[in-house]
Amino acid sequence: MEKKFSFEVPANKSERLGYKDRILSIINEVEERVRVINPDDALNRELHGKKTIDARREVQEFEPVRRDVCEAFGIPFDDDHISIYDPHRSTTGPVEQRAFRCFCVLIDSIKKEGFYGEGRIMHHALLNALIEKAREQDPNVTEEKIIAGIGATVPTYIFFKGFLSATDFREVSDVNRRVMETPLFDKNGKPVETAENWFVSGHNLEEMFPPSPESKKK
């Protein structure tokens, strides 16, 4: 049975929370604005470079990490909540694409419903696809309402963006990964370390969940 979307964390407080439970706990206390990274030239080349990839095969290869991200954010693993950008679905063999596979998560914090987008395309394009998914669920929702909700002082929509890798990011230099990654902190100010094959590069919870003084020293 697929895990349904939920903000709940385990009742057993004695158990050490894993990153998935800590992320769901963070989502419970939403706020603030989307972070925008401004990459330098070297990072820009690494981010926006091209690779020759078997598009059809990699959709299947990324399913385990896709499931992991969806589970971490409490998103049902079904077509109503997931959007995969795959323009080369019918293409046989390798094709040239963006070097990095991106993902986006959009969560309606009032209705407690989340959506996941993925593909070798800009994050804003994935966000647009998720907005359409949200509108399919509720025709009264508009793009303007969602964008305003993301940027509101008390946001009604939570936004995360990040990157996926089938090789634990061995293709990324350590320096550039540190620039790309936006740490996600829990309500105690401690960093949430995700799995090796995905990380968050931006979100709208930075001011609500700042790092603790101890975390800043690291």
User: Over 60: is that where the pLDDT of 84 sits?
Assistant: yes
pLDDT band at 214 (very low <50, low <70, confident <90, very high): confident
pLDDT-based confidence at 74, cuts 50/70/90? very high
pLDDT at 4: 41
Helices (H), 38-122: 41-48, 55-61, 63-72
Would you mind telling me the total number of residues written for the chain in this entry? Answer: 218
In this predicted structure, the answer to whether residue 50 has a pLDDT above a threshold of 90 is no
Residue among 73, 68, 140, 143 at smallest CA distance from 109: 73
Residues 131, 70, 22, 161, CA torsion sign: negative
Residue 12 lies in a domain: no
How far apart are alpha carbons 39 and 47 in whole angstroms?
9
Contact 83, 133 (CB under 8 A): yes
- Residue 171 pLDDT > 60: yes
Task: Work out how many domains the chain is built from and give that number.
Answer: 1
CB 151 within 8 A of CB 204: yes
Least confident of 20-24, 30-34, 40-44, 98-102: 30-34
The residues with which 107 forms a beta bridge, in sequence order, are 114, 158
Say which DSSP state 105 is in. Answer: E
- Average pLDDT for residues 139-164, to the nearest whole number? 91
Predicted pLDDT at 129: 96
In a domain, 132, yes or no: yes
Domain assignment present for 122 = yes
Residue 60 is assigned to a structural domain of this protein:
yes
Q: Residue 14 domain-assigned? A: no
Helix or strand (DSSP H, E) at 164: strand 157-164
Q: Is residue 6 part of a domain?
A: no
Structural domain boundaries enclosing 171: 19-217
For residue 201, tell me if it sits in a domain.
yes
| Residue 30, domain member (yes or no) | yes
Q: How confident is the model at residue 2 (pLDDT cuts 50, 70, 90)?
A: very low
